[in-house]
Amino acid sequence: MTDSRRHAEISGGGFAGLTTAAALAQMGWSVRLHERAPELRAEGAGIVLWNNSLQVLDRIGATPDLQSRSMTPPAYETRMNNEIQSQEVLEGIRWRTMTRPHLHETLLTAARESGVEIVAGSEVVGATPDGTITLADGETLDADLVVGADGVGSPVRDSLGIPLKRERSRDGITRFLVPRRKAELQALEPDTEWDNVIDFWNLDPRVLRVLYTPANDEELYIALMSPSADADGSRVPIDLELWTSVFPQLAPVLQDAAGIQGRYYGYQTTRLERWTDGHVALIGDSAHAMCPALAQGAGTAMQNAWTLAVAATEAVKADADLPGALVEWERVERPYTDLAQDRSQWYADTREMAKGNQFVGESVETALYNPTDPHRHEVHA
């Protein structure tokens, strides 16, 4: 390496990798990010971010771009058989909805403007604890810090042989981005506030759920949940007759969804024995994939990306042992992610979200966390 600055190699160009890259670069590191796909783009439909990740976006300077095509809905509404169970206005809780492509573009812009070298079509197939990565073509690259942000099937993690446990749930979802069609929905249900996030549940006689999430003025994110054992409910493209028979008030947007191939994703939780090995740290789905019940998969990834960058930077500035600093980073920060994983898994297993009023107590502790507050562990002790 010719650059005299500390150097990081990052595997994965998703939310976790881009956030880590931008943060490290802004803290003075030289950073190279590898994405195995031929171009950087986001998969999926929509997303909800909470205070923990929004604080990170503030710090890397991405908030103005994010605000341009995102929104904060008036309330999170839960319905059972189309009867309202709760309308949570989430007072005092910072949150925002958006499309995944918009968030990805926002983070990509932040990383590029921070000086990150981004290499598309570059596949990292492994790493060693001393900070060496191996690419698919056999080339090896050395770094002071290696970050595995390469998803649930992480080659970086697997090359290190870190033990993991994976829990699968009985349900899964298919996600879509469709036009809002607010006027058409309003005509079907004039008394509904169609700017709300609305969680439509039916448990009897058949388990089906539609999470309706406005992402901005033009785009709507809908997630259709069914048990994996339900062949018709989990079919893609969706069985339009089935879904509109259960949710007739959503017919205009379900018709749009029926024209999209989609993909059914089963819920799963991945728990690692450890997130670090020497000069290598794992974040995002490679370290802590979780069920989407609390919408904290990306949130905890971005939260951990920021705190990792801070911990690594402080260690090198103090000429301290970096592997030791990474172990300490995990010890201090992991409990907030473990809590989100546990609560998300519990909600997936029990379907308790159908009762509403879930954004209280432990269920919002991670959402309320501010990873950028240097005194946060004194506050949360």
**What pLDDT does 338 receive?**
97
| DSSP-based three-state secondary structure for 50 | strand
378: pLDDT confidence band, cut at 50, 70 and 90?
Answer: confident
The answer, yes or no, to whether residue 330 has pLDDT greater than 90, is yes
**What pLDDT does 4 receive?**
64
H helix or E strand, kind and range, residue 182: helix 182-188
Q: How is the beta sheet containing 197-202 ordered, strand by strand?
A: 83-88, 76-80, 197-202, 208-214, 219-227, 164-179, 264-272
The answer, yes or no, to whether residue 61 has pLDDT greater than 50, is yes
pTM of full prediction above 0.85: yes
Q: Read out DSSP for 189-251?
A: -TTS-TTSEEEEEE-SSS-EEEEEEE-SSSEEEEEEEEETT-TTTT-SS--HHHHHHH-GGGH
CA-nearest of 45, 48, 130 to 300 is 48
Quote the distance between the C-alpha of residue 145 and its chain's center. Answer: 23
Residue with tokens 């939260």: 303
C-alpha 302/C-alpha 54 separation (Å) is 9
Q: Are 8 and 146 in contact (CB under 8 A)?
A: yes
CA-nearest of 78, 15, 93 to 299 is 15
C-alpha 381/C-alpha 376 separation (Å) is 8
Give 296-326 pLDDT, tens digit per residue. Answer: 999 999 999 999 999 999 999 999 999 999 9
**What pLDDT does 90 receive?**
95
Contacts of 67 (CB under 8 A, 6+ apart): none
**What pLDDT does 2 receive?**
42
Give 165-196 pLDDT, tens digit per residue. Answer: 999 889 999 999 999 999 999 999 999 999 99
C-alpha 183/C-alpha 75 separation (Å) is 19
Domains of the chain: 7-44+100-166+269-379 (3.50.50.60)
Q: Measuring CA to CA, how many Å separate 27 from each of 40, 116, 353?
A: 23, 12, 40
Say which residue, 341 or 41, is predicted with more confidence: 341
The answer, yes or no, to whether residue 121 has pLDDT greater than 90, is yes
Residue 349 sits at φ, ψ, to 5 deg, of -70, -35
The answer, yes or no, to whether residue 279 has pLDDT greater than 80, is yes
Separation of first and last alpha carbons in the chain: 41
5: pLDDT confidence band, cut at 50, 70 and 90?
Answer: confident
26: pLDDT confidence band, cut at 50, 70 and 90?
Answer: very high
43: pLDDT confidence band, cut at 50, 70 and 90?
Answer: confident
The answer, yes or no, to whether residue 1 has pLDDT greater than 80, is no
Give 81-93 pLDDT, tens digit per residue. Answer: 999 999 999 999 9
C-alpha 344/C-alpha 241 separation (Å) is 30
C-alpha 186/C-alpha 97 separation (Å) is 20
Average pLDDT estimate for 265-280: 95
**What pLDDT does 40 receive?**
87
